[in-house]
Amino acid sequence: MANQPRVLKVVLIGDGGVGKSSIMNRFITGEFDGQSYHTIGVEFLTKNVEVEGKQYTLQIWDTAGQERFKSLRTPFYRGADCCMLTYAVNDAQSFHNLKMWKQEFLYYADINDDKFPFVVLGNKVDVYDKEVQQSVAQNWCRENGGYPHIETSAKDETNVTECFKTAIRNTVSAQLHQGEASISNLTSDTPNINLKAMAKDKQSCC
């Protein structure tokens, strides 16, 4: 059981057309399709990934970004371990909409915790008509919760594997901190149990 890969549910959200499906497909199949097909509802694929000597099964949920599919995508936010807020670097509006996406996710995932492990992706970094500078996006991430920010290209494969590995590291670290925070809330008269070690064990189970 200890060697079973840990399953992590990662949800990709962001405006229609920013490249969510392309990022997922590039990561899973290694291929890129220049055609545009709007996702209807959600699709999910899995992939086993090793990070720092540990095995994870990433369950990647690609959601439809178009407003008309809102009711189809939001039921799938619950139970997410991590959320990738995605914009396209050549589409400033998709970057401005990240705040709305974050709120939608927290509301429908029923999460109050602002420390939820979001990762922000600026996709299509291969294009020449960049509208969102990296420093601007990094500032937004810093001011909105200290989220990792990664510029990706599903087209030329820039940082595609790296962004999912960052998602894993960030999720594991956030869950570990949550475990430690709940431990520190317990009274100190539990002397015979190493609670911190238990929280760490929990990371490698299920």
Ligand X SMILES: Nc1nc2c(ncn2[C@@H]2O[C@H](COP(=O)(O)OP(=O)(O)OP(=O)(O)O)[C@@H](O)[C@H]2O)c(=O)[nH]1
Contacts with ligand X by CB under 6 A lie at 16-22, 34-39, 64-66, 123-124, 126-127, 153-155
By C-beta, is 64 or 150 nearer to ligand X?
64
Least distance from C-beta 91 to ligand X, angstroms? 10
By C-beta, is 40 or 193 nearer to ligand X?
40
Q: Give the whole-angstrom CA distance, residue 188 versus residue 198.
A: 16
Strand order in the sheet with 118-123: 42-51, 54-63, 6-14, 82-88, 118-123, 149-151
Least distance from C-beta 57 to ligand X, angstroms? 22
By C-beta, is 90 or 179 nearer to ligand X?
90
Q: Give the whole-angstrom CA distance, residue 150 versus residue 122.
A: 6
By C-beta, is 117 or 122 nearer to ligand X?
122
Q: Give the DSSP H/E element, type plus range, for residue 73.
A: helix 70-73
CA end-to-end distance (rounded Å), the chain? 8
Least distance from C-beta 150 to ligand X, angstroms? 12
